[in-house]
Amino acid sequence: MSNPGEYALNSKAVAQATAEWLAKRGVTKREIAELTLFLQKDYYPDLTLRECEENVDAVLSKREVQNAVLTGIQLDLLAEEGKLMAPLQEMIHNDEGLYGCDEILALSIVNVYGSIGLTNFGYVDKLKPGILVRLNDKHDGEIHTFLDDIVGAIAAAAASRIAHRKQAEREEARGERGEDVQLP
């Protein structure tokens, strides 16, 4: 039996597990970055895939994001193994449209970077471009009911981060303070 007194959060282990499980589930940072580029290329024509990948990295470094990734992948895996209780098992296995907890978990990622992330998340969820096509394929035996939303949310959060940083860069270029500004 575990002794609660001995538990200590290991942030490095959480980050490492996040990277490992994303890779095991076939998701690369580049593919998430491609979604981010898709979301932002019309607003920033000079935006590069590399820049998007750096922003995806920054999103993935957040504790809330790592927690959501691990929780979502765990639930997908348990559903794949048929280990969830009924009728939750059937709902997650079949990606039931009226079961919205996958989207709600993903919102904990989007919330980190504000409302631009929220609107972009809704947009990719409807359109399902790029890697989301594969994650939504119901014929390969894999279940990604949670992971598809999580990947969309990471891409959307990175898009939001880019928008805020681009504005800050513009203000800095004008010699103004670019980051959050206190009220006078």
Residues that bind Mg ion in the complex, under the rule CB under 5 A = 102, 145, 148-149
Choose between 48 and 94: whose C-beta lies nearer to Mg ion: 94
Distance of closest approach, residue 92 Cβ to Mg ion, in angstroms? 9
The Cα–Cα gap between 84 and 119 comes to: 32
Any residues with CB less than 8 A from the CB of 150 and at least 6 apart, and which? 68, 69, 72, 73, 105, 106, 109
Q: Are 156 and 121 in contact (CB under 8 A)?
A: yes
Give the residue with the Cβ less far from Mg ion, 47 or 151. Answer: 151
Q: Name the token pair of 93.
A: 């296995």
CB of 140 to Mg ion, least distance (A): 15
Q: Which residue is closest to Mg ion by CB?
A: 102
Contacts of 69 (CB under 8 A, 6+ apart): 18, 21, 22, 60, 150, 154
Q: How far is the CB of 173 from Mg ion (least distance, A)?
A: 40
| Cβ closest to Mg ion, residue 55 vs residue 145 | 145
| Cβ nearer to Mg ion, comparing 18 with 145 | 145
C-alpha to C-alpha distance for 148 and 160, rounded to whole angstroms: 18
Task: Tell me the closest approach of the beta carbon of residue 145 to Mg ion, in angstroms.
Answer: 5
